[in-house]
Structures are given as structure tokens and as C-alpha cells.
Amino acid sequence: MAKRAKRLGVRLRPHVKTHKCVEAARLQEEAGGSGITVSTLAEARFFAAHGFRDITYAVPIAPARAVEAAQLALQVDRLNLLVDHADTLDAVERAAKVVGRRLPVFLKVDCGYHRAGVSPFAAESVAFAARMATSPHVDFRGVLTHAGHAYACRTRVEVEDVARQERDITVEFAARLRAAGIDVAEVSIGSTPTLSVVDHLEGVTEVRPGNYVFYDAFQAMMGSCRWRDTAFTVLATVVGSYPDRRVLIIDAGALALSKDLGARQVDPDAGYGVVQSADRTCTFANVRIHALSQEHGHMHIEGGGPVPAFRVGDRLRVIPNHSCLSAALFERYHVVENGVVTGEWKPVRGW
């Protein structure tokens, strides 16, 4: 991804919410990352304490936590905050007065996901950006978006369409702001699916993919990566075997795999992850994790052929549908190279 960002002429600001650990962030930084993106203030504090000085908090800041964020901003070179509502801007301006420093802010733009952000087509959005740009209490850095709707795509062609939409809508909105006399230094976009396929990024300054560091079953099914590129797996043990019902139970349930349904638009029967042998040399295409309870994974052997000879105590690996969610459920990761555990990484927890 770092090489791709360089070829496309943009800075790479990895989203560390996927792994939440210093070691992985260092690898991303060494590969060419410039600054990081976080989803929680706990992540921001954690990475700041480990020497990361340029951080974007990529969730519209809750007004009640604006002062907390402003105080953290005093400890780093830059902590960019997101705003998409007048009440949020009011809170950030008050917090800036408390700490006595202008706070860098981005205007969150809705490029089609419809989760958060201002409409790039509304005159009110230009007026709001002008207010941010002229505020004595904030430093208006530019516009930021996320094409989360790429995760609803069924084909690579559909992802390519969303990637163009993400880029073009945001770049064109930035151009309208500049035409209105507003300085827009940064145009920040990015998701792992869209950046895996986009043809050019003219007008964009930085990208913020996160999932690419691990990838997962969802990304592989969508064509963002190859199956062998998936790096995060959950090691589980068979704790129940019922051949007459063609059912297996593993000790990895919703609190290990998460209940993300995955790319059901590609495969309605995808289940809750892809099952492999413990050494990852074999993928069991006819074994589906069809249900999860808190600590149980309910696996069904599909088809009418013989039931694989899994025994209680056998170990299996599961490629989760969504590695970001699954990884966040664990207090530590075991780092495996060539079948040998070579390290242990501990992610930050909390908000």
C-alpha cells in the first residue's frame, strides 16, 4: 500500500484502528507512512505516548471530550480533529480557548456513504467551511471523507466506481471551497477497497487505509487482496464433534470472531469467517461457520460427501470476516513467521 500511495503521488496516513499496536504502526511508518489515523482518543493517547507526533482522530469529536482532545493536542505536533456540525465546532472552539491554542480541524464530507459528514453539494456546507476557515480558534486544514459504501460492492468494477466517486466528489468540493476564497491545504480520502483499485488520485493529498495491514475474508472476497495476503487469523480448537448432524463446535464465538456478516452481497452463505487447517495449508471450503454464540462457533459440514475427520482437540484457523473488529477483541496477538511464534504484540483497549 505504501508503494501504491507513492505511485499515485499521495501521502499515506495509515489507520491504526485495525491493529491498535505500536509494532504494526512502526512497520507502516518504516514502509513510508506519514502520520497515523485513529478512531478513539485512547488510541491517540497511546500512540502519542510512544512517539507518534502527527495524528488524525477520524471520528467527529464528541463535544464533551473536546477539552480532553485539546489537552492531548498540546503533547504532540498535530492532532487533527473532525467536525461536521456547528455544535461540534462550538465545542472545539471553546476547548481551544481553554488550552490557549488553535486546534487543527478537518471538515468531514459525505461522499456517498451517508454515515457522517456534510453534503458536498449544499451551499450551507461551503458557508460552514468558511466559518471554520475564518475562526480565530481553529486551523482549518481541509476536507476528509471515507467511502465506506465500498464494502457493499459485489465486484471489483463496482469498487472502482465507488473509488472514482470518493475521489471526484471530494476533489470537486475542495475546488468549490477554493473558488469561494477558502484555503484547502488537504484533501484526505481512503479505504482499503477503494485504494486497492483506484486509477489516479489527482487533487488528493493523503490517503487513510487501515485494513490492508491484516486484510481479511471480506477483502479477499471483494478482490482487494489474495487469500494468501490475509495475515490475521484466530486459532480455535474443536470442542464438539457431531458427525450424524454434520456439525462441529469450536471455542471461538462472537467474542473472538465478531458477528460481522462479511461479504454477504458476494456470497449469501459466507458464514462468519473462512476455516483453514492450523498450518494454513488447506482451506475447508465445505465447512461453514453458520452461527455464533458468545464463546461457541457453530460449524456445519456442507454437501453430501463424507464428513472431514475432525476430532475433539483438533485445532483450526479462522480468517475472520472483518479483522479490525476481531482483532479488537483480543488483548494480545501472537506473531508467527514460518510457523514459529516470534513475538507478542499488545493492542491498546478502550475509548
Q: Can you tell me the distance from the alpha carbon of 168 to that of 15, in angstroms, rounded to the nearest whole number? A: 22
Where do the H-state alpha helices sit in the chain?
Answer: 2-8, 22-30, 41-49, 66-73, 86-99, 123-134, 156-179, 192-197, 217-222, 254-257, 323-327
Burial annotation 30-63 (CB, 10 A radius, 16+ → b, else e):
eeebebbbbbbbebbbbbbeeebeebbbbbbbeb
Where do the H-state alpha helices sit in 233-274?
Answer: 254-257
Which grid cell is 199? 486509477
Print pLDDT tens along the chain (351 aa): 999 999 999 999 999 999 999 999 999 999 999 999 999 999 999 999 999 999 999 999 999 999 999 999 999 999 999 999 999 999 999 999 999 999 999 999 999 999 999 999 999 999 999 999 999 999 999 999 999 999 888 888 999 999 999 999 999 999 999 999 999 999 999 899 999 999 999 999 999 999 999 999 999 998 889 999 999 999 999 999 998 899 999 999 999 999 988 877 788 888 999 999 999 999 998 999 999 999 999 999 988 777 788 999 999 999 999 999 999 999 999 999 988 999 999 999 999
Query: Angle 123-134/156-179 helices, nearest 10 degrees?
Result: 60
**What is the chain's length?**
351
At the second CATH level, the architecture of 233-319 is Beta Barrel (2.40)
Specify whether the CB–CB gap between 80 and 50 falls below 8 A: no
Q: Can you tell me the distance from the alpha carbon of 196 to that of 11, in angstroms, rounded to the nearest whole number? A: 15
Which grid cell is 201? 488520485
Specify whether the CB–CB gap between 37 and 13 falls below 8 A: yes
CATH number, span 2-212: 3.20.20.10
* Dihedral sign (CA 71, 74, 80, 85): positive
Total-model pTM: 0.94
Q: Do domains 2-212 and 233-319 have the same CATH topology?
A: no
Domain boundaries, the chain: 2-212, 233-319
Backbone φ and ψ of 3, nearest 5°: -65, -40
Q: Which amino acid does the sequence have at 269?
A: D
